[in-house]
Amino acid sequence: MTGTAVFLQQLVNGLSLGAMYALLALGFTLVYGILELINFAHFNVFMVGAFVGLIVLQSFGLQGQTVLLHGAPLVLALLASLAVTMLASGVLGVLIERYTLRPMRNVRGPMAMITTIGVSYILFNLVLLLTNAQALNYPDPMPSVDYHLGGVTIRLKAVIIWVVAAVLMWGLNLFVRRSRLGKAMRAVAQDAEAARMMGVEVDQVVMIAFFAGSALAGAAGMIFGLYYNFTQYSIGYTAGLRAFTAAVLGGIGNVPGAMVGGLLIGLIETIGSQYIAAKWADVIIFSILIFTLVFRPAGLLGAQSPNRS
Amino acid sequence: MVLSRRNALRGAAGSVLLASASPIARAADKVYHLGITLPLTGADAEAAHLILHGAQLAIKLANQSGELGDIRLEPMILNNATATAGQYDPAQAATNARKLAGTRTVLANVGPEMSGSGKAMAPILSMASLATITPSSTAPDITSPTYAGEFDPGGKPIYFRTVTTDAYQGPNMANFYAEVLKAKSVYLLDDSGAYGVGLANAFEAQARKKGMKVLGRDRLDPKAADYSAVLTKIAATKPASLYYGGTMQAGVKLVKQSYQIIPHVIKGGGDGILSPEMMTAAGFPAAEGWYGTNASPHVVDDPKLANWVALYTKTYGVAPDDYAITAYDAALVAIAGIKAVQKAGKPLTAATVRDAIASVHVNGLQGPISFDKYGDMTSHIVAVFQFHQDKSAPLGDLNKQMRYVGVAPQH
């Protein structure tokens, strides 16, 4: 491999990784944008999503490492699995909001954030105990196709991730900007009290934000499983932390910012691993984060948080 | 039947009485304990249970044979794993070591399985002069004189092993790479853990001595999921081989992704990858062709041990592995120590048993066992295996899904 090919290959690797971080970062940003709450439970909603996806795929008969379905039935089975996984994860997010966060909506201080850490640990330990801490093999139903372009290998799986992530992110952006509910969401984000006076159902809007963010985390979980071909109780930790960093880097509360941040963190990780060393990946990522925030405290695209006057 | 001192006294009352009273005499036997500390829940549970049964079987047979005279030995089984860690937990191992040290009837311990736990337990056991015999922990530091202040503050060796250490596991495998596989170059990875780093270090030093070209060395974050960046970097150096020091937490992802990115490179690791997860989580075809080692001879398939294997399988409903055998041997070492103290007429305490263990010679299932002055085995056999799918056997059956290649060269 030539130096240029290696560089381009790392760009390709970084884009896939970044797409995953971006999907996960959107959930942080949606909730923060509306409630100014860092939702640490999001880490493990993603992890649970990967397991839900595994169960759903298996119920469609997609098991093991062999390609059992082809063409339209495969695409339909994957889309149906994705939809069920997103629904289940979305509902989990709503339940978390309804039963653990809503009761302390008006409590000042870090209580709500600490609660999300608690919920995160409960999910983490439940899955750990249920799976006996074992890593599980994920079905690999997609045909193994590689495209070779001038020394760079692009796997079909990677292309699918980019497309699915782009569609989901574009859909969310459209939803937030164009739909009535999206408008309500932005109104609540700006001033929840004023929005309530204008007739916006604030509780409903918050619930929808949790649903959408968690559904995206679930999608990211299933995509993670299909791409890396395994899942384990601990997958939420590193991915979640980097996705959170991505959200802050892009400008927390800002939907396009989360996408940009996710892609950037993915690229920094792969390029850093190539030219410095993989063991320095975290040092590099977090140094860049601190450096960026020193000069642009609101993140690259500017933070958006509710006005608390 | 071997007459114990107490039974010999009773012998004066007549053999008929003795025979009829023997169940009562048994109940009155003095009970001592042999600790068994293993990570019995979580990620390490499966392997830990095979080890547990090995030690249990040795204790059971010793009690049945009457060789321990008027004492009965009972296992004191303590779990070294916690739910928070999801696997072995050194903090829990330390708590268990304190419990063993604080129980006067505990004469010795079998365990731990993991070196991480061993490092936490050793200083506590050292201060209590309580010997532990590990059937599988291979980090050289624990018994190295360089770290004696840290791991052996009591001054006398207490950490004995019925396996060799990574100081041989890594280098012998480097010899195997250079001499048997004829690999001219190698790229090294570890999983940031004490075991993985030490193993890769030991391999690297010997690989250089053997004239292999070390193309690079990097470290995997076991909690991260994506190793494609580091593997792309490795692919660009065009190595003949890859050596991985570490366990399956990073291993699962490494095996899967290296199959995609560097499929034709020779790949191997230590005993950390000889795990059922290699098949159930990493899976074939990714695991196909990977080499792994055990820090003990491969004897579980030896026809001479067929009866023992059958007895183990019948008693516990599961087939043993090589570390079940080293665990059985570890318990034999403890029992030999106890017998030596009895023979010398000394009081049975942890300290006297420790002194006896340091100089025992035991004919174990794996062969003759004795220890050097630091507690390490005097033989340094490392067995090499290669993963090869057997579609007729269950996927998680380690014995069927890998084949024994031979003993790694030792010089």
CB A159 within 8 A of CB A250: no
Type and span of the H or E element at A183: helix A180-190
Look at residues B174, B222, B163, B226 and name the one whose alpha carbon lies nearest to residue B200.
Answer: B174
In terms of residue numbers, what domain contains B10? 5-165+302-369
Residue A301 lies in a domain: no
Q: Out of B42, B218, B226, whose CB is closest to A277?
A: B218
CA dihedral B336, B338, B342, B348 (to 10 degrees): 170
- Smallest CA–CA distance, residue B44 to chain A, in Å, is 9
Indicate yes or no: CB of A128 within 8 angstroms of CB of B83: yes
Are B233 and B328 part of one and the same domain? no
- Across-strand partners of B266? B241
Residues A175, A179, A184, A187, CA torsion sign: positive
- Across-strand partners of B227? none
Token pair 């005097």 is found at: B378
pLDDT-flagged residues of chain A (< 70) = 1, 64-69, 304-309
In terms of residue numbers, what domain contains A200? 29-236
Are B124 and B182 part of one and the same domain? no
Are B31 and B157 part of one and the same domain? yes
3 state DSSP class of A141: coil
Look at residues B273, B252, B356 and name the one whose alpha carbon lies nearest to residue A230.
Answer: B252
Decide the pairing of beta strands A230-231 and A136-137.
antiparallel
Residue of B nearest to A225 (CA): B225
Residue B251 lies in a domain: yes
Indicate yes or no: CB of A125 within 8 angstroms of CB of B84: yes
**CATH number, domain with residue B387:** 3.40.50.2300
Q: How far apart are the C-alpha atoms of A52 and A26, rounded to whole Å?
A: 20
Are B160 and B174 part of one and the same domain? no
**Lowest-pLDDT range of B22-31, B309-318, B380-389:** B22-31
A220 φ, ψ to 5°?
Answer: -60, -40
Q: How far is CA B157 from each of CA B80, B127, B375, B376, rounded to the nearest angstrom?
A: 22, 11, 6, 9
Ranked by mean pLDDT, which of A129-133, B294-298, B390-394 comes out on top? B294-298
Q: Among A44, A127, A228, which would you mutate to test the B interface (most chain B Cβ atoms within 10 Å of its Cβ)?
A: A228
Structurally, chain B folds into a number of domains equal to 2
Q: What is the largest CA-CA distance in chain A?
A: 63
Look at residues A61, A216, A219, A270 and name the one whose alpha carbon lies nearest to residue B257.
Answer: A270
Residue B390 lies in a domain: yes
Indicate yes or no: CB of A237 within 8 angstroms of CB of B192: no
Indicate yes or no: CB of A278 within 8 angstroms of CB of B249: no
Residue B119 lies in a domain: yes
What average pLDDT does this structure show over B267-281? Answer: 89
Q: How far is CA A184 from each of CA A103, A175, A208, rounded to the nearest angstrom?
A: 22, 11, 10
pLDDT at position A3 is 84
pLDDT at position A64 is 66
Q: Out of A13, A233, A239, whose CB is closest to B225?
A: A239
Q: Which residue has the higher pLDDT, A177 or B364?
A: B364
pLDDT at position B185 is 97
- Smallest CA–CA distance, residue B399 to chain A, in Å, is 19
Q: How far is CA B260 from each of CA A146, A153, B167, B215, rounded to the nearest angstrom?
A: 10, 10, 32, 20
Residue A232 lies in a domain: yes
B136-160, pLDDT tens digit by residue?
A: 999 899 999 999 999 999 999 999 9
Residue A47 lies in a domain: yes
Are B14 and B47 part of one and the same domain? yes
CB B352 within 8 A of CB B346: yes
Residue A13 lies in a domain: no
B44-76, pLDDT tens digit by residue?
A: 788 899 999 999 999 999 999 999 999 999 999
Q: Which residue has the higher pLDDT, B386 or B6?
A: B386
CB A153 within 8 A of CB B62: no
Which two three-digit tokens encode residue B110? 């079998």
Indicate yes or no: CB of B86 within 8 angstroms of CB of A133: yes
Burial B179-192 (b: 16+ CB within 10 A, else e): eebebebbbbbbbe
Ranked by mean pLDDT, which of A29-43, A144-158, B289-303, B392-406 comes out on top? B289-303
Q: Is-above-0.90 flag for pTM?
A: no
Amino acid at A226: L
Compute how many other C-beta atoms are within 10 angstroms of the C-beta atom of residue A210: 30
Q: How far apart are the C-alpha atoms of A45 and A283, rounded to whole Å?
A: 26
pLDDT at position B45 is 85
Residue A218 lies in a domain: yes
What average pLDDT does this structure show over B5-33? Answer: 50
pLDDT classification of B23: cutoffs 50, 70, 90: very low
Q: What angle do CA A54, B82, A279 make, to 5 degrees?
A: 70
- Smallest CA–CA distance, residue B43 to chain A, in Å, is 5
Token pair 């992110």 is found at: A169
pLDDT at position B20 is 39
Indicate yes or no: CB of B221 within 8 angstroms of CB of A278: yes
Residue B83 lies in a domain: yes
Q: Among B46, B80, B226, which would you mutate to test the A interface (most chain A Cβ atoms within 10 Å of its Cβ)?
A: B226
pLDDT at position A304 is 66
Are B95 and B174 part of one and the same domain? no
DSSP of A211-236: HHHHHHHHHHHHHHHHHHSEE-TTHH
A143-152, pLDDT tens digit by residue?
A: 778 888 888 8
Altogether, the residues listed in chain A come to a count of 309
Which two three-digit tokens encode residue B194? 């004490």
Indicate yes or no: CB of A13 within 8 angstroms of CB of B232: yes
B244 φ, ψ to 5°?
Answer: -120, 120
Instruction: List all residues of chain A from 26 to 55 with a beta carbon under 8 Å from chain B.
Output: none
Which two three-digit tokens encode residue B44? 């390490």
Residue of B nearest to A272 (CA): B229
Structurally, chain A folds into a number of domains equal to 1
- Smallest CA–CA distance, residue B170 to chain A, in Å, is 21
Q: How far is CA A188 from each of CA A257, B25, B350, rounded to the nearest angstrom?
A: 19, 81, 70
Are B32 and B71 part of one and the same domain? yes
Residue of A nearest to B284 (CA): A65
Q: What are the residues whose beta carbons fall under 8 Å from the beta carbon of A20, sequence distance 6 or more?
A: A161, A165, A220, A223, A224, A227, A239, A243, A262, A266
Are B188 and B148 part of one and the same domain? no
B164-205, pLDDT tens digit by residue?
A: 999 999 999 999 999 999 999 999 999 988 789 989 999 999
B337-353, pLDDT tens digit by residue?
A: 999 999 999 999 999 99
- Smallest CA–CA distance, residue A13 to chain B, in Å, is 7
Residue of B nearest to A268 (CA): B229
Are B57 and B157 part of one and the same domain? yes
pLDDT classification of B6: cutoffs 50, 70, 90: very low
pLDDT classification of B94: cutoffs 50, 70, 90: very high
Compute how many other C-beta atoms are within 10 angstroms of the C-beta atom of residue A76: 12
CA dihedral B154, B326, B116, B272 (to 10 degrees): 150
Q: Flag whether pLDDT at B21 surpasses 50.
A: no
Altogether, the residues listed in chain B come to a count of 411
Q: Flag whether pLDDT at B95 surpasses 80.
A: yes
Q: What angle do CA A260, A227, A140 make, to 5 degrees?
A: 160
Q: Among B49, B220, B228, which would you mutate to test the A interface (most chain A Cβ atoms within 10 Å of its Cβ)?
A: B228
Q: Out of A155, A239, A273, whose CB is closest to B229?
A: A273
Long-range contacts of B357-364, Cβ-Cβ distance < 8 Å, separation of 24 or more:
B357/B108, B357/B131, B357/B133, B357/B160, B357/B333, B358/B131, B358/B156, B358/B157, B358/B160, B360/B333, B360/B336, B362/B329, B362/B332, B362/B333, B362/B336, B364/B162, B364/B325, B364/B328, B364/B329, B364/B332, B364/B333
Residue B377 lies in a domain: no
Are B259 and B317 part of one and the same domain? no
Are B65 and B186 part of one and the same domain? no
Are B24 and B135 part of one and the same domain? yes
Which two three-digit tokens encode residue A119? 């919920």
Indicate yes or no: CB of B220 within 8 angstroms of CB of A278: yes
Residue B375 lies in a domain: no
